């Protein structure tokens, strides 16, 4: 039998018909790129001139554009090309809850059906956004709602930045403002451990601080960490924004009970990293201390805290605990919190009681786990520390 071959009269120069449609090339997430990365993508991958990158970047990060369609000063040809090669990763508003104090909690749905939250906190002199960096969190702090979820995935830098753009858009509409960037301050205290997603955090910061982008000042950005010691050093070397440490205890025994990270890097190791942290002139490290009734709020706790912080330029934020049913911790009474603050102040440690924002909507940072979404339905993951 003859092997199957080209039939006699067939035109062998004709392009063979592909068996199935070619799969589309993976789209590049351009909203996750720094201006430098975007320039490289446009010039090297798309053969465009470098200044086009600046135009695209400003559309995305100054004006918060979410589609190529609206970028009217880019040629139609380029916009079409971008549609086939690139994407701006969207965050779709899924729910919003408003507190009587003006705080608004936004829940976003990611493209893969996850939920993350950001909390908008307006006050007289600033408009602050609390930003998430991960879906869930691997740190498993026992008082924290997000800690009960385990880590689902890191957010991309585009998704971190998209929270800021989306809330700018919301606030602009809500408060009838002309300015593209109503937000003045950012705190990375939402879902997740920022230093556990360091590369994407760093890229997001570089976008958020860029002059061609939203141009946030380093003085108006604070990143809060559970205390990943080796990453604190890198954070100090590779960024210039402010550092906050979630201390939440005055002894290792206490801290290891509520914050598993302490079993790897104890208080001494953590404070040592803080002493070595390259602080800019006049800056202090913020220590967050969630007050848990009859757990870490005694006079002895205050005295130990004074001792621990005595040689560190520090400021303590005492945070009234937002109770989460089922986690077993109670809020310290207001008078006790005030007494605790006075003890610290008398011991020459600057201490403030953080205003409890959005209490009626469970809007506290660290309380941002959603119970209904897909995030909650899966098993938790073990902490994997760097």
- Exactly one of 137, 141, 144, 365 is catalytic; name it: 365
Q: How many whole angstroms separate alpha carbon 206 and alpha carbon 166?
A: 18
Strands (DSSP E) found in 155-205 = 185-188
Closer residue to ligand SAH, CB minimum distance, 37 or 190: 190
Q: Please identify, among the stretches 79-87, 108-116, 294-302, 360-368, the one whose residues bind ligand SAH according to the rule CB under 6 A.
A: 360-368
- Cα–Cα distance, 108 to 306 (Å, whole number): 40
| Contact assessment for residue 258 and residue 141, using Cβ atoms and an 8 Å cutoff | yes
Q: CB–CB of 31/88 below 8 Å?
A: yes
Q: Is 36 a catalytic residue?
A: no
Phi, psi of 166 (to 5 degrees): -65, -40
Nearer to ligand SAH, 87 or 323 (CB): 323
CB within 8 Å of 287: residues ≥ 6 apart: 244, 245, 247, 309, 314, 315, 316, 317
Q: Contact with ligand SAH (CB under 6 A): which of 53, 319, 351, 369?
A: 319
Say whether residue 321 binds ligand SAH (CB under 6 A): yes
Stretch that binds ligand SAH, among 86-94, 111-119, 269-277, 361-369 (CB under 6 A): 361-369
Closest by CA to 96, choosing from 80, 117, 82, is: 117
Any catalytic annotation for residue 69?
no
Catalytic residue among 117, 159, 193, 288: 117
Minimum gap (Å) between residue 42 Cβ and ligand SAH: 35
CA angle at 59 for the pair 70 and 153, rounded to the nearest 5°: 100
Residue whose Cβ sits closest to ligand SAH: 366
Q: Judged by CB under 6 A, does residue 267 bind ligand SAH? A: no
Query: Which one, of 27, 32, 29, 385, lies nearest residue 201 by Cα?
Result: 32
Tokens for 106?
Answer: 């936004």
Q: How far is the CB of 313 from ligand SAH (least distance, A)?
A: 19
CA 260 to chain centre: 21
| 117 binds ligand SAH per the rule CB under 6 A | no
Minimum distance of ligand SAH from residue 290's CB (angstroms): 5
Measured from the CB of residue 113, what is the shortest distance to ligand SAH in angstroms?
23
Q: Is 246 in the site for ligand SAH (CB under 6 A)?
A: yes
Three-class DSSP labels, 327-352: CCCCECCHHHHHHHHHHHHHCCCEEE
| CA separation, residue 109 to residues 91, 116, 155, 370, 378 (Å) | 6, 7, 12, 11, 17
Q: Segment contacting ligand SAH (CB under 6 A): 42-50, 91-99, 138-146, 167-175?
A: 138-146
Task: From 16-24, 69-77, 86-94, 359-367, give the range in contact with ligand SAH by CB under 6 A.
Answer: 359-367
> Binder to ligand SAH among 156, 163, 262, 367 (CB under 6 A)?
367
143 scored as a contact of ligand SAH (CB under 6 A): yes
String of contacts with ligand SAH for each residue 213-242, x by CB under 6 A: -----------xxx----------------
Strands 92-98 and 86-87 come out as unpaired
Q: What residues line the site for ligand SAH (CB under 6 A)? A: 139, 143-144, 189, 193, 224-226, 246, 248, 288, 290, 319, 321-322, 324, 364-367
Cite the active site residues: 117, 365
């Amino acid at each position: 039998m003859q092997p199957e071959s080209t039939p006699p009269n067939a035109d062998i120069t004709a392009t063979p018909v592909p068996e199935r449609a070619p799969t589309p090339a993976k789209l590049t997430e351009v909203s996750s790129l720094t201006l430098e990365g975007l320039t490289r993508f446009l010039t090297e991958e798309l053969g465009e001139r470098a200044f086009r990158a600046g135009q695209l970047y400003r559309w995305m990060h100054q004006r918060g554009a979410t589609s190529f369609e609206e970028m009217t000063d880019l040629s139609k040809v380029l916009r079409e090309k971008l549609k086939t090669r690139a994407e701006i990763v969207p965050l779709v508003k899924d729910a919003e809850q408003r507190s009587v104090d003006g705080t608004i909690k936004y829940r976003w749905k990611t493209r893969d059906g996850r939920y993350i939250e950001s909390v908008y906190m307006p006050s007289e002199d600033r408009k602050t956004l609390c930003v998430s960096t991960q879906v869930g969190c691997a740190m498993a702090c026992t008082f924290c709602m997000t800690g009960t979820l385990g880590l689902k995935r890191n957010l991309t830098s585009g998704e971190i930045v998209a929270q800021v753009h989306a809330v700018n858009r919301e606030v602009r509409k809500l408060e009838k403002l002309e300015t593209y960037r109503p937000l003045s301050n950012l705190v990375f205290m939402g879902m997740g451990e920022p230093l556990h997603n360091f590369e994407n955090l760093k890229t997001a910061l570089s976008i958020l601080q860029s002059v061609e982008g939203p141009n946030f000042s380093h003085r108006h950005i604070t990143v809060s960490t559970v205390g990943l010691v080796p990453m604190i050093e890198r954070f100090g070397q590779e960024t210039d924004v402010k550092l906050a440490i979630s201390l939440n205890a005055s002894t290792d025994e206490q801290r290891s009970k509520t914050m598993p990270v302490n079993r790897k890097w104890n208080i001494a190791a953590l404070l040592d990293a803080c002493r070595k942290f390259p602080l800019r002139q006049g800056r202090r490290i913020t220590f967050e201390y969630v007050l848990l009734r009859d757990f870490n709020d005694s006079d002895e706790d205050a005295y130990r805290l004074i001792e621990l912080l005595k040689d560190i330029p520090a400021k303590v934020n005492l945070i009234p605990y937002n109770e989460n049913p089922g986690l077993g911790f109670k809020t310290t009474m207001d008078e006790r919190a005030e007494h605790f603050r006075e003890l610290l102040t008398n011991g020459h440690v600057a201490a403030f009681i953080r205003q409890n924002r959005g209490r009626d909507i469970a809007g506290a940072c660290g309380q941002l786990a959603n119970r209904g979404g897909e995030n909650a339905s899966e098993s938790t993951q073990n902490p994997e520390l760097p």
